[in-house]
Chain A
Amino acid sequence: MCLVQISSAQESIIYGVIIDTNTNQAIERAQIVSAISGEGTISGSDGSFKLTSRLNFPVELTIDHISFVTKTLIVDSSRFIDLVIYLQPKVTYLDEITIIGKYENDKPYRSEKVTLKTIEKTNIAGIGNLLRHEPNVGGIRKGAAGIDPVVRGFKYSQLNIQINGGTKIEGGCPNRMDPAMAHMDMNDLQSITILKGPYALKYGPNFGGVINMTTHKPRFYNKFENHVDFLMGGQTNHTGFKSGLGVHGGNNVVAYYLKGNYKQYGDYKAGNDLVIPSSLEQYNVAGSIGIKPAEGHILEIGLDRSWGRNVDFPALPMDERKDDTKIFNLSYLGTDFGKRVNYIRFKVYKSYVQHEMDNKNRPFSDTVVAISNIKAINSGGRLGVNLNTFKGRLELGTDYEQISKDGVRTKYLIMQPNLPRFYEDLWNNALTKNLGVYAEWQRKFAALDFIVSLRYDYNTANSDTLIRNKPNGAPVYENDNTASTFNNISFSIGLTWHLNKYNELTFSLGRGVRSPDMTERFIILLPISYDPYDYLGNPQLKPEANNELDLGYRFNKSNIGAVDVSVFFSYVTNYITGELMPPSVVKPQTKGVLGVKKFVNIDRAWLAGFEFTYNTPIQYEWFINLNAAYTMGVNPESTQYVFENGEVIDERIINNDPLPEIPPFESNISIGYRFLNQKLIPEFNIRLVAAQNKVSEAYYEPASPGFTTLDFILTYKYNAHLKVYAGITNIFNTNYYEHLNRRIIGSESPLYEPGRMFYMNLIFNL
């Protein structure tokens, strides 16, 4: 951001700050030079600079930095400057967002980006938890970790969650205690991008949105360099700490990144002093090597191993005992193929999750100890070619994903002679395959950006016989008709209309189709959903389709700030939900459930909502960031099962029943001031969440009260190498819970969020 001050008739002083486009971090030692006079200066550790010029305006400035793409801009004092000096990293990462450049920045649909700064300054250790602060993003909490994101009311496999633009992880737990995000350490991330709606189709099948986690990557340097990163954070309440230690460096041919993280937390106290079991221990080691055999060609090999131990899930029947995850990936990006080809990208990956959970910490283990072991493998790849053609950019590509899952639950009857044990299949060699091809064409006109995407998916799945036997061997359920094949077509179209320099309108229309996931197809009688029923997979489900329309308005002016408003309407066909099975067909196998629900398609459901954000201009020392969001979802005709004494006795139709697990209206306000040339930044964050009274009657979903929390964060940048973040969350020790939090097993008590908490993070970068 630049400010111009005329200090005399002949002399002007230009103030500014240089910022990294990717990380929003200040850029130190950037050269700012007047192209005509040669007058220049260098940005300080906080990215700021002051340039004195004797030239008349307009002045042409060149901003140069060894690691960033050189930028030239015209400073025109008569317009009081409204240029933000963001520099694009020169290093071509294998990162989806970076290499797309300006085309990707003008998306005609809503997106959110969580930057490195946000990741560094929070005390939150889990990715899903952090995302709950983004507009229209909620999270389902079941325990100490693994909060499952809900974006605009879409969740689970309605969201496409991936790492570095393509690597995917399949969690092992049928109850999703380990969704994809739970297998990544937040300290390994550089940013998280949320692309809302079924529009970005090059990332794989996209029904309700894409969440892309970008990790730290090897960085190439002109001369060989080594760097060390160190993070240490501790907190009271949910008492524990997180730490991370990394080394990275390289030259212009080989680069490396190696990092290890460790975190351990105990139980926490809610605002009412209730102790919530929430201890966890997680650690990981991740490394990657980048090779640049020639300019414009980068090969990267990465391996991440992570371990979770003794993670409490008070809202589930079991706790996570062990989770061992391996993620391997190999990526190639070529950008040096002449003018016709922008880039060619290739990626293969394999993630392997070994998940063990048990009820050993639960009262029921006095009679039956149940241990579940699940192995989940997700492997696949992607090939994409981006061309300059048809007066725009055309990307053609193909991707493949294969998920296999197998798991057994062993039950030990420990109060009986001879310690009898028996086995139940959770998954029975279940396998899904998805082969997709896509095309995305973008073109910029004078005041209009246009994008159209098309995607075709060939999806197949099968499993060994879905079978559940009683301990004596008598069959409870058996289904050998497990194979299914689908041909899905998705498309989207989007327009960005630049009304003038400050205002633009956006329009997106799309249809995203997803095939049923592993759980919906093959789960064998487990209580995996919100309601107290055993669920049964249905291999013959049809794909679910989201037909969505987004309209948006964006305003950005340097002295006023940036406003972003979006509204959406989503019409879902073949919506997947549960339908009660007659007891004569199959009986429930879990103590305390009311019956068995089988996954079925219903005709339709719809969701609608909006997001609003406002950010003050970066040029001011004070700042206010505001966001507000709301989503509502409706099932036009749902069935409520009426039960008495633990048995279903009747059913009734409810018209326009709200969909379950939709977060209520929420607004976040952040207010702060940048002291001492941005070295010291105190900041207050206020979170206002409304009551959720639009709840599903069919699911007997309880309403939840509204709440307000206040956090304080103090940022202190001692120098370029040391940053300190200290804060108090939930200052007033408010006793509250999120609407999406599950209830504690065996009680009617909701899973309350932590009460007041003090924390501090230290970050060293050498």
Chain B
Amino acid sequence: MKKLISFTLILIVLAACHKPYQKKVTYIATGAVSAYNLQYLDDQNELVNTEVIPQSAQDIWKYEFMSDQGEIVYINGDYKDINSALKIQLLIDGKVYKQAETTGDTIKVLVVSGVVPYE
């Protein structure tokens, strides 16, 4: 009986422990031929600003982290070179979740955002 009681107590304590499901978030920026700015939410939920100088339009900038379901994911980018372009993708667990692109648009800030979906 004592073993049964102990086992029961352990199960009850375990029931109180709970970890949310996580998913892999990937931001990808590509397509630019000159410098561009990115602003994104990182794994600490902080907004980070960075400037990227690509060597060619095939260069890929990438940032990956694990995120709980329901977290806001956000990245925006802009460039000043009218001959450039930008494509931003937001991947969840390796699959494209949202994306946007512009070519020669130096005014619009490209925003790709959403919420890590719940299963």
Contacts and interface: CB of A to CB of B under 8 A. Distances in A.
A262 B15 contact: yes
Nearest to B75: A419
Given A247-B5, A247-B8, A414 B114 contact: yes
A226 interface: yes
B27 to A, nearest CB: 14
Given A259-B12, A285-B15, A416 B111 contact: yes
Interface residues of B, number: 27
Contacts of A360: 70, 115, 118
A410 to B, nearest CB: 11
A417 B16 contact: no
A766 interface: yes
Interface in A285-317: 285, 305, 307, 309-310
A321 interface: yes
Given A228-B5, A360-B115, A412-B72, A419 B12 contact: no
Given A309-B18, A365-B115, A226 B1 contact: yes
B76 interface: yes
A245 interface: yes
B41 interface: yes
A578 to B, nearest CB: 33
A419 B5 contact: no
Given A245-B8, A358-B70, A414 B18 contact: no
Contacts, number: 74
A406 B2 CA distance: 45
Given A358-B70, A415-B111, A416-B111, A307 B18 contact: yes
Nearest to B115: A360
Interface string A325-345: 000000000000000000000
A259 B109 CA distance: 54
Nearest to B15: A260
Interface in B5-20: 5, 8-9, 11-13, 15-16, 18, 20
Contacts of B11: 245, 260
Nearest to A359: B115
Contacts of B2: 226
B96 to A, nearest CB: 16
B39 interface: yes
B47 interface: yes
Contacts of B72: 369, 412, 414, 419
Contact of A361 (B5, B12, B20, B118): B118
Contacts of A412: 72
A44 interface: no
Contacts of B15: 245, 260-262, 283, 285
A766 B8 CA distance: 12
A419 B8 contact: no
A258 interface: yes
Nearest to B17: A283
B15 to A, nearest CB: 4
Interface in A413-429: 414-419
Contacts of A416: 111
A-B interface, 5 closest residue pairs, ranked by CB to CB distance from nearest: A260-B12, A414-B113, A260-B15, A360-B115, A417-B109
Interface of B: 1-2, 4-5, 8-9, 11-13, 15-16, 18, 20, 39, 41, 47, 70, 72, 74, 76, 78, 109, 111, 113-115, 118
Interface of A: 226, 228, 245-247, 258-262, 283, 285, 305, 307, 309-310, 321, 358, 360-361, 365-366, 369, 412, 414-419, 766
Given A309-B20, A414-B111, A417-B111, 17 more contacts: A228-B5, A245-B11, A247-B8, A260-B11, A260-B12, A260-B13, A260-B16, A283-B16, A285-B13, A307-B16, A309-B18, A360-B70, A366-B114, A414-B72, A414-B74, A416-B111, A417-B39
19 contacts: A245-B11, A260-B13, A261-B15, A285-B13, A305-B16, A307-B16, A310-B118, A360-B118, A361-B118, A365-B114, A414-B72, A414-B111, A414-B113, A415-B111, A417-B39, A417-B111, A419-B41, A419-B47, A766-B4
